[in-house]
Amino acid sequence: MNEEQNKLEERDRAVEEIARRLGVQAERGKRFAELTSLRVGGAIDWVIVPETEEQAAAIVHELDQAGIGWRPLGSGSNVLADDGDHHYVVLNLSNMKGEVRIEGELVSVSAGYSLPRLCIDVWRGGLSGIEGLGGIPGTVGGALWMNAGAYDHEIGTVTENVRVAREGKVVEIPGDSIEWNYRHASFKEGELLLGATLRLKQDDPELIKARMDDAKSRRLASQPHGSRSAGCFFKNPPASTIGTGKMIDEMGMKGQRRGSAIVSPVHANFIVTEGENARAEDALALAEEIRERVKREQGIELEYEVELWRAKPEPQMNADEQTQMDTDQKQEQ
Ligand SMILES: Cc1cc2nc3c(=O)[nH]c(=O)nc-3n(C[C@H](O)[C@H](O)[C@H](O)COP(=O)(O)OP(=O)(O)OC[C@H]3O[C@@H](n4cnc5c(N)ncnc54)[C@H](O)[C@@H]3O)c2cc1C
């Protein structure tokens, strides 16, 4: 048995022991294809499924202490994991739902709670501020991490405070200590979000419902539904007057296919996957083809909105290789 296998076995024993001691479910044999909305992606060594904020805080502390790598996952609606074997622990937070607590205009919710569900709860409670987000799949934690937004609403603008895991404990940090940018919030790398309190505004439930329905019907009219996607694949470039979807559409790429991945014929910034054995490799190749064409034809470097999770870190280029690549690219233009 080689050294790497020895280390993995030692780690496996440690994961089992931590999960048993903290009374948390730990699963083997899962694949990202089962846990992400694109339905692609390879094997995961361990999936740990905490049910409470306290459990989740304790687990990541123990994993950190043992030097075991982990990543948090909500509903997997914004993640493209590659087809390789992922040798880390995935903390699946979608069971950490807790209960929504409403006190006046403050709404406290755990990170694993469904965002669409929360939008319905607060509409019924006559609270406005997130009705534009009603059609965004995923958990509250994923939405906070990405600063999810749609139809004039962004979660960051209504976040009073966020509960995070620190040293095994649940700690509250003020929402205004975070920079909430376009599809990005300034949380520290490796920060685990456990829950949040939102500050909403009282309004007539009928008006809130009407705005929520309007956002939903605009979404239905412009985006594929019932398909396997991760929402918009790329961000809109800051300096461009047209959105990325329109840009890709104007290049005639709607319906373009790479194996099991297709540029959605409905919305060109959506890549959808098809088939039982769809491959992340196909979605990535198609995405890179789009980026190359946009770079060549529009001179714009598209930035991924979807998170790419690699089984192995990408090899770093040294300075000479980078210079050579830049020279080659200039010559091609
Ligand atoms: C059909 C469709 C439409 C979409 N429309 C929109 C839209 O209009 N606007 C929009 O903003 N997004 C949209 N999305 C993208 C996605 O739904 C959002 O980004 C959503 O908020 C992600 O939530 P999630 O739980 O699925 O996160 P995941 O995909 O599971 O995770 C996303 C990122 O958040 C991190 N994360 C998740 N939970 C935690 C946590 N508790 N602590 C720390 N990090 C965490 C993950 O590590 C990962 O980096 C769409 C997706 C689909 C499939």
Single-letter amino acid, residue 312: K
Angle of helix 3-22 relative to helix 53-65, nearest 10 degrees, comes to 150
Q: Which residues line ligand 1 (CB under 6 A)?
A: 37, 71-79, 93, 111, 136-139, 141-143, 145-146, 148-150, 183, 192-193, 229-231, 307
Closest to 282 in 3D by CA, of 23, 40, 10, 33: 40
- Which structure tokens are listed for 88? 């880390």
**pLDDT in the model for residue 313:** 72
CA 223/CA 267 separation, integer angstroms: 5
Return the residue whose CA atom lies nearest to atom 14 of ligand 1.
231
272 Cα: distance to centroid of ligand 1 (angstroms): 16
Q: Provide the pLDDT for residue 100.
A: 98
**Predicted pLDDT of residue 315:** 58
Coil, strand, or helix at residue 72? strand
Q: Which helix (H) or strand (E) holds 83?
A: none
Phi, psi of 222 (to 5 degrees): -115, -10
Measured in angstroms, how far is the CA atom of residue 329 from the centroid of ligand 1?
A: 34
Q: Mean pLDDT per 10-residue run, the chain (333 residues)?
A: 88 97 97 98 98 98 97 98 97 97 98 98 97 96 97 95 98 98 94 98 97 94 93 92 94 97 98 96 98 95 96 65 49 40
- Cβ atoms of residues 302 and 290 within 8 Å: yes
What is the spatial distance between Cα 51 and Cα 35, in angstroms, rounded to a whole number? 17
Query: Could you give the CA distance from residue 44 to residue 72 in angstroms, rounded to a whole number?
Result: 13
Report d(CA 221, CA 9) in Å as an integer.
Answer: 51
Q: Are strands 43-49 and 79-81 parallel, antiparallel or unpaired?
A: unpaired
Name residue 164's beta-bridge partners.
Answer: 171, 193
Gap from CA of 21 to ligand 1 centroid (Å): 30
Find out whether 111 and 93 touch, Cβ atoms under 8 Å: yes
Q: What pLDDT score was predicted for residue 159?
A: 98
Give the pLDDT of residue 312. 87
Give the mutation target among 70, 73, 188 for probing the ligand 1 site: most ligand atoms within 8 A of CB. Answer: 73
